[in-house]
Chain A
Amino acid sequence: MHNARNLLALAMIIVLTLVGARPSQAQEGLVIYSEYPSIVVGIGETLNLDVTVRVPESGIVALDVSDLLDGWTAEYRGGGRVIRSIYVEKDEPARLQLRLIQPERIAAGTYRFQLVARWGETTTTFPIELIVQEKTPAKLTLQTDFPVARGGSETTFSFNATLKNEGGEDIFATLSADAPREFKVTLRAAGKDITNLPTEIKANASQRIDISAEPLTSLPVGSYPITILAQSETAETSLVLTAEVLGQPQLTLTTPDGRLSGDAYIGETTPIKLVLRNTGNSPAFGVRLSASSPTGWQVTFQPEEVTEVPANSEVEVKANLKPADRAVAGDYIVTFRAQPKEGGSKSVDFRITVRTSTLWGVVGIALIAVALAIVGLAVVRFGRR
């Protein structure tokens, strides 16, 4: 009887030993596994892997990771903390997490390592495969159809550009402009001023940007580069626009002393000196002079047309003004106008005080004189004691 019991025990040990010799099944039920052993992640992405540990008898299981490449960090986490081992009860699997942090620089590819669990003398492993793929990186582009604008020395240059986020994530981009000091550059999106303000751009979306460069002074002829810079934390791009200032005449019509009023006598021609001044950076050609005057007035110019007003100089013109014969004394407005061949016309309002001749005043004096003479004659004729 005793012998038979011993035999049975021996047989059981043999069987058990045979069973244990088979890999992965034999180690008396110690298991560590993750539900998804092969995972695709992006570059730089930190992965939290759910791990389950099961033991045949309650006890402490030490946890480790093997075959991990340099630079990778792997840590088991349980109860909110980094752990090295775990107590697992029999028949009750323990769940924990493995946090995998990628090295800073990593190439795309497949990375393999093993989860290792040690329970007493037994050790078990579980292979994990990480397929690291290149994620579409954050990328901004700025594009415009018309990078060059032409204008006069005081015009505001307008451009528009499209800012596109070609990356896979929404980003905040800050737009700024690098322009010569003579310009004030304003960037607008959907009517809002966004200069130097972070603007959200959705993944794979684009934003139209209106750019206006306003000269603060009168600019000399030349071309001025304006660099538009779009920056986010991860990407940046720039676009060079050019404002080309062309030569332009800048005409003003005034008088030599700046006085815009004068007298004119009815029935007489009054000359008025006018000055055509060109403050622009290019000569004005073929400036025609005209006037809007009250009905019946005659206004002629000498000369009628100025062939050229050179840049930064002036030309004197004489206007001959003759009020209408029936004009009433008092103030009238005469508008003188200068129209160059190219460009807008310039006008100036002149206030003319119409005066009547003093001839009738003399007649009036004569009338009084005659009346006094009659009194005098009466005295001479009829005077007596």
Chain B
Amino acid sequence: MLKLLDSWRRPTEREGSPWIGLGAVLFKEMADHLTGARMRILELLIVITAVGTVYTALQNLNRNNSEFLYLRLFTTAQDPLPSFVGFLGFLVPLIAIALAFDAVNSEFNRRTLSRILAQPVYRDAFLFGKFLSCLLTLAIVFAAIWLLIFGLGIVSLGVPPTAEETGRALLFLIATVFYGGIWISLALLFSILFRSPATAALAAIAVWLFFTVFWNIVAGLLLPVFAPQQVTNLLDLIAVWELQLALERISPIRLFAEIAVILLRPAERSLGIILPIQLDRALLGAPLPLDQSLLLIWPHLTSLIAATFLLFAVGYVIFQRQEIRA
């Protein structure tokens, strides 16, 4: 492994740790994000969404069934208005893109990049700081929203949330942050690639739109390419279905939706196709233990986290190889 690393290395050894200066960049960026007007607008948007959907959820909640009341705050919808989770599906990418689409190219355009790098700050630290500040800002905003929802719940429901509910909500918060993480990495990548912030934003939004609207169509078109040509028995049919699911799951939006379903509806037992034979003598409606629900969406969650890091790695490599003296 070490030899492999050695062979990979450039002849010129890097000097110093990539972490130097990370703290400075991180805190400065966070300060910019949390005080900026852009952030105000986004916060207002999401607070209105949260209060509105949770308020309607409270009106429509079936209180006779006291199981997982708090989780149902997230998922109960009233007709014109989707549930809070439904809003999150497109609000999270929007906020993430809005936070990160001009992270790097604005520094170029303001010609501040070389000035920053003239300080004892490595390029690594600069990019890490940019990325982490966006991710942390997102985490702070959503943690606040989660607390707001739970607070509204405690005030109006009068029962404290159970440990299981809290655990599920917390896991869902982590999933939401990393779902945002993917879009932050993507927007960061585009902000490195394109010098114009507008182009970067447009590119990121185009990708988001592609996955939101077109991916299911594309998956449907790709299906005949990969699927067996002749479906003769049930097993073939299941294989086709599973292939379709796998293709659809390339979209992070789909992954996030499935995570939300499994974590917030504990009675959901499976994401794939269930044959009637598998439900023989099954107790339907009985909630899954939290660890089993987590196991069901574990691939989704890890994929989201891994994809976040991989996209960042791509952006990192490109940024490192860029000519930045302008």
Q: Which 5 pairs show the lowest CB-CB distances between chains A and B?
A: A364-B302, A382-B320, A371-B309, A371-B306, A331-B283
Asked if residues A384 and B320 are in contact (CB atoms below 8 Å), the reply is: yes
Contact yes or no, A330 B292, CB < 8 A: yes
B234 at the interface (CB under 8 A from A): no
CB of A379 closer than 8 Å to a CB of B: yes
- Contacts A380-B9, A381-B8, A382-B317 given; indicate if A360 touches B299 (C-beta within 8 A): yes
Min CB–CB distance B283 → chain A (angstroms): 4
Q: How many residues of A contact B (CB 8 A)?
A: 41
Since A329-B292, A385-B14 are in contact, a sample of 4 more A-B pairs with Cβ atoms closer than 8 Å, ordered by chain A residue number, is: A333-B282, A361-B298, A374-B313, A375-B312
Q: Mark A231-272, 1 if CB is under 8 A from B, else 0.
A: 000000000000000000000000000000000000000000
- Provide the A354-385 mask, 1 if CB < 8 A to any CB of B, else 0: 01101011011101101110110111111111
With a cutoff of 8 Å between Cβ atoms, the chain A residues found around residue B283 in the complex are 330-333, 351
- CA gap between A365 and B294 in the complex, in Å: 13
When chains A and B are docked, how far (Å) is the Cα of A327 from the Cα of B16?
54
* B123 interface neighbour in A372, A377, A385, Cβ under 8 Å: A385
A-B residue pair count with CB separations less than 8 angstroms: 125
A189 at the binding interface (Cβ < 8 Å): no
* Interface assignment of B43: CB less than 8 Å from any CB of chain A: no
Q: Is B253 an interface residue (CB 8 A)?
A: no
Does B286 lie at the interface of the complex (its beta carbon under 8 Å from any beta carbon of A)?
yes
Closest to B318 in A: A382
| B 292-309 to A, binary, CB cutoff 8 A, 1 in contact else 0 | 100110110111011111
A312 interface hit (Cβ, 8 Å): no
| Chain A hits for B277, CB < 8 A | 295-296, 326
Question: B285 to nearest A CB, angstroms?
Answer: 9
Bound Cα distance A117, B313 (Å): 149
CA distance A385 to B325 in the complex (A): 12
Is B301 a contact of A364 with CB atoms below 8 Å? yes
Question: Which segment of B34-42, B62-70, B267-275 sits at the interface?
Answer: B267-275
Question: Given that A358-B295, A385-B122 are known contacts, is A328 also in contact with B286, CB under 8 Å in the complex?
Answer: no
Taking beta carbons and an 8 Å cutoff, which residues of A are in contact with B? Answer: 292-296, 324, 326-334, 351, 353, 355-356, 358, 360-361, 363-365, 367-368, 370-372, 374-375, 377-385
Q: How many residues of B contact A (CB 8 A)?
A: 47
A355 to B293, CA, bound (A): 10
Residues of B within 8 A of A (CB): 5, 8-10, 14-16, 18, 117, 122-124, 269-270, 274-275, 277-283, 286, 288-289, 291-292, 295-296, 298-299, 301-303, 305-310, 312-313, 316-317, 320-321
A368 contacts across to B, CB distance below 8 A: 302, 305-306, 309
Q: How far is the CA of A378 from the CA of B292 in the complex (A)?
A: 35
CA gap between A372 and B5 in the complex, in Å? 15
In the complex, the answer to whether B317 meets A330 with C-beta atoms within 8 Å is no
Residues of chain A with a CB closer than 8 A to B303's CB: 364, 367
A326: chain B residues at CB < 8 Å are 275, 277-278
A385, B125: Cα distance in complex, Å: 10
Partner of B289, one of A353, A365, A385: A353
